Amino acid sequence: MSCSSSLLTPSFDLCLFKQDEVEDEEGEIMSESLKESEEPSNKRVKPVSKSNSLTGVITPAKTPALKRIGLSISRSISFRTDARPLPPAPLRSRPKASSFPRRRNSQCWSDTVESHDLTAKEIKRQEVIYELTQGERQLIEDLSLLKKVYYEPMLKLDIMTESELGQIFGTLDSLIPLHEDLLSRLERLRGSEKTVGEVGPTLMNWFPCLEAYVTYCCNQVGAKALLDQKKHEKRVEHFLRLCQESSFSRKLDLWNFLDLPRSRLVKYPLLLKEIQKCTPPEHPDEDALPDASIVAEVNKKTGEAECQFYRRGLTYLEESQRLPEIQQSRFLYCHGELKNNKGQRLHVFLFELALVLTRPGEDRDGGHVFNVYRQPLPVALINLEEIPDGEAGGGGTFRGAFTGGNDKVKNCFRVSSRGRSKAHSYSLQANDSFSKQQWITCLRQAIVQSRDQTAQTSRSQFSLHPDPALYHIAELSLSSDTEISSLQTHSETVDVPYAFLTAQQVMGTVRLELFVQRQSD
């Protein structure tokens, strides 16, 4: 069905919203009556004569409230009827089929051709290219729907200001023509037999356009925070609920639609990999397909924007909590809700170089802030301890808080700092085993990378400012005692940890020390 005809349903719902925005009770009952049935009713009802009136379309209600909804709908479109009211019928009667099913009908390339003379590998290649083309078409439909059904009505009905909608929807308008261009290019590649010969140059020329995603994806973190804040307003919540319950939404909420471009972006590397896998060695596309480096760059920029957004949202209670590692972090490994050993809910951020525990709050404008709880931990100094399920946790610190009075704990782990005069240790509990494993995996990865980075930085600093005596040690020949004797005058100045020396330098230093000792004897 074309996009223009599919937009009739949301416009009808918007008419109801404008009239019934105060009548919450009626709106809730109406949404329940629109839900699909699980089984048909066996109750016998009188036959209904054909009628052009709206009363013959709307399922009557058992309760007076639903009857008032039917009358309200009739008044909202200024339509009168003399038809007799239908007898009461159960609410389980099946409604009209939706023009927007929750899941689109999946169609393969093979379904579009009557016959073909291709190998199995080439058929799979055509299927992947067709999937790429269909994905572009569906994304264009969804983004157009997003603009027509959400952005424009909310602006027209003054549900949000133009500035707020601009922050939430970001650069959505720039993405629609971008994907329309790719769809047009792909469709032109299809020959008379509905096959695509060479797709590599087309994708190679188009892929740089994905740089437009940097701005859109970087804006998403702030857009999500603002949308969650606006959902607490009654008019916004009521409008979004009506839209989600309508047939055009496929049970998706506004954020699901706003996140579709990012979801599409991460599929491109997979599709390119599949096309590459199905392309024979002698095919022109073998060396003409683009790489997914632009996608990795978008992910990197998005991660940096997310890190900056949450760093700005941190509120420090003490100046000592402002670790330089927090400001130096470029990205977030993960963040989410955990409980401490007192049962308090915390929002924990694992930045690149620091672990920060916070308590969520709100500012004067209703925006989210995160009050830093206790002392943050530098990742390079973290000791991670996994607490097995069923063990008693920390002598009794977990009792009552984590287990409801039992001695056994579940989904818990402990982080502590090392190498500091004042040690800090935090016992944390995840919501489930999967979440716990994610946290442990991210923590281990962060610890290893942070320590490797610290060691690399130390080595680079040492190489820039080496001890003058080490110039001779680095050139030392292990079999030459004459060269060792020439270094006797430098023996007292060599005081460098072995960890920062190469194997040759370490052995040379050891032999130098033995030589000096032998000479003294």
Delineate the domains of the chain, giving CATH numbers in brackets. Answer: 118-313 (1.20.900.10), 316-389+409-447 (2.30.29.30)
Q: How far is CA 256 from CA 64, 260, 331, in A?
A: 36, 6, 24
Is residue 432 within 8 A of residue 426, CB to CB? The reply is: no
pLDDT digit string, tens, across residues 187-228: 998 877 778 888 999 999 999 999 999 999 999 999 999 999
- What is the model's pLDDT at position 412? 95
Distance, CA of 521 to CA of 513 (rounded, Å):
13
Res 195: pLDDT = 83
Tokens of 490: 């430098």
Q: Picking from 119-128, 273-282, 454-463, 498-507, which range would have the lowest pLDDT averaged per residue?
A: 498-507
User: What is residue 416's predicted lDDT score, i.e. its pLDDT?
Assistant: 92
Q: Write down the pTM of the prediction.
A: 0.62
pLDDT given at position 518 = 56
Query: Between residues 154 and 1, which one has the greater pLDDT?
Result: 154
- What's the average model confidence in pLDDT over 324-341? 93
pLDDT of residue 450: 86
Query: In the predicted model, what is the mean pLDDT of residues 44-65?
Result: 42
**Residue 191: what pLDDT?**
76
By mean pLDDT, which of 115-119, 304-308, 381-385, 512-516 is the weakest?
A: 512-516
Would the pLDDT of 120 be above 90? no
- Candidates 53, 264, 21, 361; CA nearest to 159 is 21
* pLDDT tens, position by position, 138-153: 999 999 999 999 999 9
Mean per-residue pLDDT for 75-81?
39
pLDDT of 445 above 80 = yes
The total of other beta-carbon atoms located within 10 Å of residue 344's CB is 12
Residue with tokens 């809910």: 345
Q: How confident is the model at residue 282 (pLDDT cuts 50, 70, 90)?
A: confident
Q: How many whole angstroms separate alpha carbon 439 and alpha carbon 160?
A: 37
Q: Residue 492 pLDDT more than 60?
A: no
pLDDT at 487 over 50: no
Q: Name which of 42-51, 187-196, 289-298, 336-345 the model is least confident about.
A: 42-51
Q: Quote the pLDDT of residue 41.
A: 46
Residue pLDDT, tens place only, 284-294:
888 888 888 88
pLDDT value at residue 217: 94
Predicted local distance difference test score (pLDDT) of residue 390: 76
Q: Is 80 exceeded by the pLDDT of residue 410?
A: yes
Full 3-state SS string of 308-333: HHHHHCEECCCHHHCCHHHHHCCCEE
280 has a pLDDT exceeding 50: yes
Mean pLDDT of the 403-407 span: 52
DSSP letter, residue 41:
-
Give the separation between CA 83 and CA 245, rounded to whole angstroms: 29
| Residue 371: per-residue pLDDT | 95
What percent of the chain lies above the pLDDT cut of 90?
Answer: 45
